[in-house]
Amino acid sequence: MLEEITKAISVLEKGGLILYPTDTIWGIGCDATNEEAVQKIYSLKKRADSKALLCLVANDAMLEKYVDHIPDVAYDLIDLSERPITIIYDQPRGIAKNLVAEDNTLGIRIASDKFCQYLINNFKKPLVSTSANISGEPTPKNFGQISDTILKGVDYAVALYRDKENGAPSSIIKLSSDATVKVIRT
Cα 66 to chain centroid, rounded? 14
pTM: 0.94
Domain residue spans of the chain: 2-185
Question: In the CATH scheme, what is the code of domain 2-185?
Answer: 3.90.870.10
Q: Check residue 82 and give its pLDDT.
A: 87
**DSSP code for 49:** T
pLDDT in tens, 133-174: 999 999 998 999 999 999 999 999 999 989 888 888 889 999
Q: Check residue 164 and give its pLDDT.
A: 84
pLDDT in tens, 72-92: 899 999 999 988 999 999 999
Q: Check residue 179 and give its pLDDT.
A: 74
pLDDT in tens, 44-69: 999 887 777 999 999 999 999 999 99
Contacts of 166 (CB under 8 A, 6+ apart): 24, 25, 26, 139, 140, 141, 142
